Amino acid sequence: MTTKDAVLDDSEVNVEKVNLLGMSEEKLAAFFESLGEKRFRVKQVMQWMHQRGVIDFDAMSDLSKVLRAKLATVAEITLPELVSEQTSEDGTRKWLVRLAGGSCIETVYIPEGNRGTLCVSSQIGCSLDCSFCATGKQGFNRDLTTAEIVGQLWVAAKAMDSLDPTKDRVISNVVLMGMGEPLLNFDNVVDAMNLMMHDCAYGLSKRRVTLSTAGVVPALDKLGDVTDVSLAISLHAPNDELRNQLVPLNRKYPIAELLRSAQGYLEKLPDKRRKITVEYTLMREINDRPEHARELAALLVDTPCKINLIPFNPFDQSDYQRVSNNALYRFRDILIEAGYTVTLRSTRGDDIDAACGQLAGQVNDRTKRSQRYRQQQDKGLEAVRIIPS
């Protein structure tokens, strides 16, 4: 074989392309530096990707033809695959997107007045298995990459035709309250949130990006060192005994540790007026009694917070029931009388299973948990006997 025969044409060499979508400003700068390009290329490419929705390098007209050709060889902008879209009667929209490996996740857009909130997922499934959440019943597959988290925002904005600098921005808020526990995917979630807030990307305010956690205390302890987004904690019970049943993670990190860590996060923020949002899902005759409200008021007395009450949204594989309106308003009034700011989360999108706690997706479950729940449900159905009249 001659030397000439041994030389492969560039088209014959398999180059593993780098996905630019989830790269932070610094990572993109390092990437362009490796190509011998100047740093100003970072701003150009970020704006094309995130603000104009352009993923074809050939369409990036302010890049040189040589650079465009080079990028097409070594890089790509890869997005989650849009599988389906549903729209609720109340205007809520839900997208099912497929990721590498075949699993699907759900992303929800909730319009309300002059703002629109996008609820994004951080994992395929969830490893925590909170007893009142549909996602946990689906088991767990893996963490999402930064590109897969940001890609949900891109897909939703594109679907609503708002990836255009000449048009009004439809998505004003992003909450990491979808599938998964964000703090168990710490690095990718932080990079994604920082991209959402970047002026050359989506430009969201730090007050309009909210991370919700069930209480992964070690990760929460270091969150304030790397970002200053808004914080929500999924509490759902006023004492450890009850929360152990609803949120199994509480057995490892009890309420006192969670509140200590959340207060520590606030102390690291430069704006000392910031508050934590305490999320409390109300279930009929489980955690909705007046004594629970009074206990919650006493528990949070030293925590700067506002309280968001969420009526439980029923789903298959759950025996919990929605709180009655009387119990809901009674619970709210007790907290207001104790001096708290309290909001009631209205149920949105329940006709398309997009309400809080209902997101499920299609998870290639590595834990076999979903199979166990299905078997339990089947056994329960078999035990039902219909008595003829």
In whole numbers, what is the pLDDT of the chain averaged over residues? 88
131 to 121, 141, 188, 328: CA distances (angstroms): 19, 19, 26, 20
Instruction: Give the per-residue SS3 of 97-115.
Output: EECCCCCEEEEEEEEECCE
In which band, very low, low, confident or very high, does the pLDDT at 171 lie, cut at 50, 70 and 90? very high
**Could you tell me the fold of the domain covering 16-76?**
DNA polymerase; domain 1 (1.10.150)
Confirm whether 126 is a catalytic residue.
no
- Per-residue model confidence (pLDDT) at position 355: 52
Q: In this structure, are residues 82 and 95 in contact, taking their beta carbons and an 8 Å threshold?
A: yes
Report pLDDT digits (tens) over 180-202.
999 999 999 999 999 999 999 99
The SS3 call for residue 387 is coil
Report pLDDT digits (tens) over 120-133.
999 998 889 898 88
- Per-residue model confidence (pLDDT) at position 169: 81
Region 232-259 average pLDDT? 98
Report pLDDT digits (tens) over 205-245.
999 999 999 999 999 999 999 999 999 999 999 999 999 99
Asked if the model's pLDDT at residue 254 lies above 50, the reply is yes
DSSP bridge partners of 18: 75
Report pLDDT digits (tens) over 267-277.
999 999 999 99
| Terminal alpha carbon distance of the chain | 88
Domain locations along the chain: 16-76, 86-374
- Per-residue model confidence (pLDDT) at position 365: 63
Asked if the model's pLDDT at residue 63 lies above 80, the reply is yes
Confirm whether 106 is a catalytic residue.
yes
In which band, very low, low, confident or very high, does the pLDDT at 301 lie, cut at 50, 70 and 90? very high
Q: Specify the DSSP element, H or E, that contains 264.
A: helix 255-268
Query: What is the b/e burial string over 202-234, where b = at least 16 CB atoms within 10 angstroms of the residue's CB?
Result: bebebebbbbbbbbbbebbbebbeebbbbbbbb
Q: Do domains 16-76 and 86-374 have the same CATH topology?
A: no
Structure token digits, residue 149: 């988290």
Q: Which residue has the higher pLDDT, 377 or 322?
A: 322
In which band, very low, low, confident or very high, does the pLDDT at 369 lie, cut at 50, 70 and 90? low
Separation CA 163–CA 218 (nearest Å) = 36
CATH number, domain 86-374: 3.20.20.70
Region 74-90 average pLDDT? 94
| Percent residues over pLDDT 70 in the chain | 85
DSSP bridge partners of 239: none
**pTM for this predicted structure:** 0.87
Q: In this structure, are residues 180 and 186 in contact, taking their beta carbons and an 8 Å threshold?
A: no
Region 369-384 average pLDDT? 49
Separation CA 172–CA 118 (nearest Å) = 8
Region 359-376 average pLDDT? 57
Contacts of 79 (CB under 8 A, 6+ apart): 21, 55, 147, 151, 154, 155
Asked if the model's pLDDT at residue 8 lies above 50, the reply is no
Separation CA 323–CA 343 (nearest Å) = 15
Q: Which of 106, 148, 181, 279 is catalytic?
A: 106
DSSP bridge partners of 118: 109, 174
Q: Which of 130, 133, 305, 356 is catalytic?
A: 356
Query: What is the b/e burial string over 77-106, where b = at least 16 CB atoms within 10 angstroms of the residue's CB?
Result: bbbbeeeebbebebebbbbbbbbeeebbbb
Q: Which residue has the higher pLDDT, 350 or 261?
A: 261
